[in-house]
Amino acid sequence: MLRLVSQGALAFSSTSTWSSSITSLTYRGIRLWSAAYTTTSNSVPEKLHVCVVGSGPSGFYTVDRLLKRYGDGVHVSILDRLPTPFGLVRSGVAPDHQDTKNVINQFSSIAGDARVSFLGNVLVGRDVDVNELRALHHAVVLAYGAESDRRLDIPGEDGSPGAGVFSAREFVWWYNGHPDARHLPIDLSKVRSVAICGIGNVALDCARALLAPPLRFVPTDLAAHALAQLTGDHQTGGGSAVREVHLVARRGPVQAACTPKELKELLTDCGVSARTATPDQLTVSEADSAEMKATRLKRRVFELVSKAVGEASAADAATAAGDRSSPQRRRDLFFQFYRNPVEVLRGPGGAVTGLRVERTAVRPDGPGGTSVAVGSGVFDTIPCDMVLKSIGYKSLPVQGVAFDCRRGVIPNVAGRVLQQTNATASSAASGSTSGSGGGGKGGVPAADVGLYVVGWLKRGPTGIIGTNLVDAEETVDSLAGDAEALLRAGEMSHGSAGPPGAAGLEALLRQRGVRVVGWRRWRLLDEHELAAGRAAGRVREKVTEVREMLRICGFAVE
Ligand code: NAP
C-alpha cells in the first residue's frame, strides 16, 4: 500500500512545492491549499474527494455510483467544458427520442445533491490541467466521451469548409444545437441526395432527421436553426430539398450494425420508400442464414429490410398499373449494401457530386472467423450532394494522460488508467499508434493510481446510455479498491483534512477568472430554455451560443 501511496504523491510532487511544517500546495506559483500537517495521526480523512471530468451519461452514472457507495463520505466535483450539463443526452440523442432524454431528471437530482458540485464552462487543458485536478482531489475519473470521428481516409473526404462532407457527429451536433456545430455550413435547401456511410443507429438518426416529415420535430428540442431548414419559414419559404438518402454499408443486411427497433421506426414512421441498390442485395448466403439463426436481432433486421423493400416495389408496380390507391411516399431510402466508399467526387468549385463505392463480398476472413468486406474491383457512383460519415465517434487525448491513438481510448484495466509510456504519451495524438511499452512488470504499464476512466473514452464508442451504468460500476469498483491508499496519500500530502476537493478547485478557477457555471446558474439557463419552449409549443428552445448562455447564466458579457 505504501508503494501505491508514494506513486500517488509523486504524480504531483514534481510540479508542486511544499513548506516543511505547513502543507501549502502551490502550483505554478498559485497556492492551491494549505493545512496543518501531522505525521502522527492514524485516522484517515472523512471524505473522499473525487473529480469527474465530463457530465454526460458515463460521468453522471459514476457520480451516482460514488454517492450510493460512500454516502456522506464522498464529495464529487463534476466538470463540463460547456456551460450546459448532460453531454450526449443533450447533444447526441435524437430530438424525436424524448423518452431517452428522461434520464436528465435522474442526473439533475444527482447534480442538485449537496455532495456534488457541478462546474460547467471549465475546459481541462485550458482552465485547469489533469495534474492540478489530481492535486486537489483523491481521485480523478475521466469521462469526457468521444468528441471526434473515425476517418474514411479516402480522396475527397476533406474539402474546404462547406464542401459537403460532415461526420455524423457534426451533423447530430448541428441539429441538436451544440455550440461548436452551430455555424456548420449546412444548407438543406440545396441538398437533394445524401449518402450516409455506415448503417449503425447514428446513421439511422441522421436518416430520420433528413427524411421524416418535419412536423415530427416541431414539438421537440431540435435546434431552431435546424428546424427552420427542415420546415422553411415564411420569410424564405423553401425548407429541405432532400428527397433521397443512401445508407452505404460495406457489408450486407445481416451484418448491419443498427438495431431492429430503430430500423423499424425509420421504415414505418417516416413515410419513406425503401429500395436496395440492386435486386440481388437481399440474397442470403449460407453463412448469413447461420448468422440469422444464431442471432434473433440480425434476423429481425433482415426481415424488416426485406418487408419494406417488398412493400415499396409492390406499391411501385401498383402505381405503374394505374392504381391510385397505393400509398404515396414522399422520400426514398436506398440501402446500398455491399458497397465500400472509395472516393468523394467533387465538381468544379469543390461541391460534392457523388460517392464512388466499390462493390464487396462478405468473407469470414476477420479475426476469429468474423465476416469482413472484401473488394471486388467493380465500382459504382452514388449521385449525391452531401456525404455524412457515420462510421463511429473517436475520443481525443488529454495532456499528461496515456492514450491509444489507434483505438481512440485511454488504456486501462477495468477503469484504472495505465501509466503513460513513450508509446502511449498523449502527445502521440499527432498520429502514432499505441503499444504496450515498458513501465510495469513484463512490459505492461502499471496503473496510474488515482486516475480512472469510464464510458466511450474507456471502452470505445459503442453501447447505449444504459451501458454506462455497468461501466461506471466497474470503474467505481476499481476506485473503491484503491480508496484506502488514496485517502492515506491525501492525508500525507494535505494533512488530516485531506485534499480540498471542489472548494479548492473553485477557488483556483476563481483566481484564474474562469466563469464557472455552477448548478444554480445552469438552472437559470434551463428555465430560460424551457420557458422559451413553452411559448413556442415545444419541449425546449435551446440556446446555441456560449456567450448567450453565459449572459443568461448571470455573467456580464461584453
Ligand atoms: P456503430 O454502431 O459502430 O456503426 C458503425 C457503422 O460504420 C457500421 O455500419 C460499420 O460497418 C461502419 N464502418 C465503420 N468503419 C467503416 C469504414 N472504414 N468504412 C465503411 N464503413 C465503416 O456506430 P454508431 O452508429 O456511431 O453508434 C455508436 C453506438 O451508439 C452504438 O452502440 C449504437 O447502438 C449507439 N446508439 C444507439 C442509439 C439508440 O439506441 N437509439 C442511437 C444512436 C447510437 P461494419 O459493421 O462493417 O464495421
Instruction: Dump pLDDT digits (tens) for 178-230.
Output: 999 999 999 999 999 999 999 999 999 999 999 999 999 999 999 999 999 99
Q: Is 126 exposed, middle or buried (0-12, 13-18, 19+ CB in 10 A)?
A: exposed
Nearest to 64 by CA among 527, 506, 466: 466
Bind-site residues? 58, 88, 124, 250-251, 262, 456, 463-465
The residues, any chain, with a CB within 8 Å of residue 110's CB and separated by 6 or more, are 60, 63, 64, 67, 116
> In this structure, which residue's CA is closest to atom 26 in ligand 1?
392
- Mean pLDDT, all residues of the chain: 88
Return the ligand 1 atom nearest residue 150 CA. Answer: 15
Question: In degrees, to the nearest 5, what angle opens at C-alpha 84 toward C-alphas 522 and 96?
Answer: 115
Rounded to 10 degrees, what is the CA torsion of 537, 538, 540, 546? -90
Question: What is the C-alpha separation between 8 and 43, in angstroms, rounded?
Answer: 19
Question: What is the C-alpha separation between 335 and 487, in angstroms, rounded?
Answer: 56
Instruction: Dump pLDDT digits (tens) for 500-549.
Output: 999 999 999 999 999 999 999 999 999 999 999 999 999 999 999 999 99
Q: Which of 33-42, 241-250, 318-327, 460-469 has the lowest mean pLDDT?
A: 33-42
The residues, any chain, with a CB within 8 Å of residue 313's CB and separated by 6 or more, are 275
Is a pLDDT exceeding 90 seen at residue 93?
Answer: yes
Instruction: Dump pLDDT digits (tens) for 33-80.
Output: 444 333 334 454 579 999 999 999 999 999 999 999 999 999 999 999
Nearest to 151 by CA among 406, 462, 433: 406
Return the ligand 1 atom nearest residue 203 CA. Answer: 25
Distance (Å) from CA 197 to ligand 1 centroid: 10
Nearest to 487 by CA among 43, 27, 68, 41: 43
Instruction: Dump pLDDT digits (tens) for 278-307.
Output: 888 999 999 999 999 999 999 999 999 999
Domains of the chain, first to last: 3-13+44-146+396-515 (3.40.50.720), 148-393 (3.50.50.60), 518-558 (no CATH)
% of the chain exceeding 70 in pLDDT: 86
Q: What pLDDT score was predicted for residue 58? A: 98
In angstroms, how far is the first alpha carbon of the chain from the final one?
52
CB atoms closer than 10 angstroms to residue 151: 13
Question: What is the C-alpha separation between 63 and 15, in angstroms, rounded?
Answer: 28
Is a pLDDT exceeding 70 seen at residue 433?
Answer: no
Is a pLDDT exceeding 60 seen at residue 368?
Answer: yes
